[in-house]
Amino acid sequence: GQQLNQSPQSMFIQEGEDVSMNCTSSSIFNTWLWYKQDPGEGPVLLIALYKAGELTSNGRLTAQFGITRKDSFLNISASIPSDVGIYFCAGSGRAGGTSYGKLTFGQGTILTVHP
Amino acid sequence: NAGVTQTPKFQVLKTGQSMTLQCAQDMNHEYMSWYRQDPGMGLRLIHYSVGAGITDQGEVPNGYNVSRSTTEDFPLRLLSAAPSQTSVYFCASTRQGAGGYTFGSGTRLTVV
């Protein structure tokens, strides 16, 4: 079953506020990914993290790969209405296994931004 | 460059019917996968392939078959549809060694 625990499950914020969400795992992953899904569409890759401790930014988005490779967080600064959607974390390449090519997803965080 | 193309976008089946969900990518990606998305469950891996002629099971493979005869195509077959297979299905692809998959826009399947 699911091995990634993502929190919070949902967030209701005002435009301009900062957002933080995180993801933890019982397994070590070699790659952590953050995706955003708009209604009726497939997930779109936001940030990919490849090294433990890596901190990567993409515009107003910042994500970090935990030192233990079992967790990651995503921050969104100065939120805007188009940030609305579902955000997923995903792990790839589980250490010690043959899972390259497979993604394990968190349950998702539903973000609502009030103007 | 169309990316990952899924057809159909919507489908209604009766219990016991069979059908094939189509997926094609034009990026010469070696890896392709099928996921299903249910409310509150995130995306769960059904089957995946690391190259033509090579497929393997994911987390929820029962009731689904796949084959990969070409690099471009990765169809998903439902042999006898059940209401539990009502879901949104996503196909995705990536290059070998790349971290992130590119997803199609999904097929919304309802089994009645």
In terms of CA atoms, which chain A residue is nearest residue B40? A107
pLDDT tens figures, A29-47: 888 999 999 988 999 999 9
Q: CA–CA separation, A32 vs A38, rounded Å?
A: 20
pLDDT tens figures, B18-27: 999 999 999 9
Tell me which residues of chain A, numbers 49 to 78, contact chain B at a CB-CB cutoff of 8 Å. 49-50
Q: Does residue B95 sit at the A interface (CB-CB below 8 Å)?
A: no
**Sequence-distant (≥ 6) Cβ neighbours of residue A22 within 8 angstroms:** A6, A7, A71, A72, A73, A74
For residue B94, give how far its alpha carbon lies from the nearest alpha carbon of chain A (Å): 8
Q: Does residue B39 sit at the A interface (CB-CB below 8 Å)?
A: no
Q: What is the pLDDT of residue A10?
A: 96
Q: Is residue B41 very low, low, confident or very high in pLDDT (cuts 50, 70, 90)?
A: confident
Q: CA–CA separation, B80 vs A50, rounded Å?
A: 40
Please check whether residue B38 is in contact with residue B87, taking contact to mean a CB–CB distance below 8 angstroms: yes
Q: CA–CA separation, A96 vs A99, rounded Å?
A: 9
